[in-house]
Structure 1
């Protein structure tokens, strides 16, 4: 009789499954379809004859609403055996547009079902799941919020066509550490522990979560298999490089967002100083201008050095990027995704694809 053992890799090698590239490789591929079904059933609380037994992965792209719009690219889009569409989105950084963006994507998926000549009665329910590494709703302490169409007074449901879930990973981690969760009985909690164990932005692994996950995996076959898939993903050289490229891009975008906030705050300060000048606070204005100049010079130098360093790294990595692109092409990743991950142009990747025949 074989003994069940869990293979181990160093904790610092685990990829953060909240980074969209890793999330898609883990939950959005045919070979991991069973993992996706178990996760969706846990999150949507589907059991018995209501359980999701089969899914098919759908196209993740929608054309822009206007001519100049970029393609809208979803993280994961599946259709169940009941023809219900489920879109799963993962977000590390708060861009302050999640709710509007969610409603927009939901509407695009819902209306995409209606083909010419079809009646409205053919429209099937559409479910959107958002997993966020930040808090959206201060009105609740719950980490899982569900929204549907209800009458505001008597609370009866108008229809089941709309169902939107928000998972707040920040609140989940807080509640796990506060020992408010029963991970032995709560199936969703087990899967969210997988997502919460690594924080790629902080370069941190929560060892306490790992130890509990390890214990749970020895008793749960599905979690055990998922854990090994996670380790395989973390050890793949191509995936590890693509993951870190994507994480770097996310961190750069987050830094730009912080810069934008800083500029907005600085502009607000300047306007306040201008009003103060008109009121006679001349000295305060002079000090504010001097500080702004110093900060601007310092920030400009830092950004200039950083930009020069980035250019140097890009030149040195060109050969490696092409090698990674070739491997990703052999694994049938699409050209747009490879371009985003490797920073090669679409034409460069197309030339590499032609070399493969």
Structure 2
């Protein structure tokens, strides 16, 4: 079995997978990756604990969360958005400027259809409703699901 999140596989397996999965939406391929701690910090004792499957950062500071889900708990879109928001929020410390925030990309490999269509690859962005303008693409969500036969 190939482990995406292992140090020995990150430069070949993970980097190649991410570049292929993101080739339509990321202007230039990733050159290198650093594996990050997959545990997202809790801001309070009562916050929900979040542990990602694979969390990596590229040379430009973009972070990627790669989740692999085999059982459908019917909450993957909300879970994915929660993880992305936490990764985005964790980037800033006190006194830092918002302009230093880097893009967060969530990729979900699913063994079930989460989205009600027959496409294998669904991509979501925050867009303006009328013009389709993409003024903020810092949080992107990519969902890979098993297409129904």
- Taking structure 2 as the reference length, what is the TM-score of the superposition? 0.90
- In structure 2, how many angstroms separate the alpha carbons of the residues matched to 1:31 and 1:161? 29
1:152 to partner: Cα distance: 1.2
- In structure 1, how many angstroms separate the alpha carbons of the residues matched to 2:38 and 2:130? 37
Cross-structure match for 2:21: 43
Pick aligned residue for 2:85 from 92, 107, 121: 107
**CA deviation profile, 1:141-197 (whole Å, cap 9, x unmatched):** 1110001111111111122201100000x21x74xxxxxxxxxxxxxxxxxxxxxxx
Cross-structure match for 1:163: 140
- In structure 2, how many angstroms separate the alpha carbons of the residues matched to 1:155 and 1:77? 29
1:78–1:87 CA contact under 8 A, matched in 2: yes
For residue 78 of structure 1, give the secondary structure of its aligned residue in structure 2: strand
User: What are the ranges of 5 or more consecutive residues in structure 1 without an aligned counterpart?
Assistant: 1-14, 16-24, 175-357
Pick aligned residue for 1:62 from 40, 44, 53: 40
1:151 aligns with 2:128: yes
- Taking structure 1 as the reference length, what is the TM-score of the superposition? 0.39
Alignment of 1:87-98 (within 5 A): 87-98=65-76
Alignment of 1:137-286 (within 5 A): 137-138=115-116, 140-168=117-145, 170-171=146-147, 174=149
- In structure 1, how many angstroms separate the alpha carbons of the residues matched to 2:87 and 2:133? 25
1:31 aligns with 2:8: yes
1:74 to partner: Cα distance: 0.5
Structure of greater Rg: 1
For residue 89 of structure 2, give the secondary structure of its aligned residue in structure 1: helix
1:29 to partner: Cα distance: 1.1
Cross-structure match for 1:134: 112
Change (3 A) 1:83 1:46: farther
Report the RMSD for the aligned CA atoms in angstroms.
2.1
For residue 8 of structure 2, give the secondary structure of its aligned residue in structure 1: helix
Larger proportion of strand: 2
User: What are the ranges of 5 or more consecutive residues in structure 2 without an aligned counterpart?
Assistant: none
1:63 to partner: Cα distance: 3.2
- In structure 2, how many angstroms separate the alpha carbons of the residues matched to 1:97 and 1:157? 25
1:46–1:52 CA contact under 8 A, matched in 2: no
- In structure 1, how many angstroms separate the alpha carbons of the residues matched to 2:48 and 2:80? 17
- In structure 1, how many angstroms separate the alpha carbons of the residues matched to 2:139 and 2:61? 14
Higher relative contact order by CA 8 Å / sep ≥ 6: 1 or 2? 2
1:89–1:131 CA contact under 8 A, matched in 2: yes
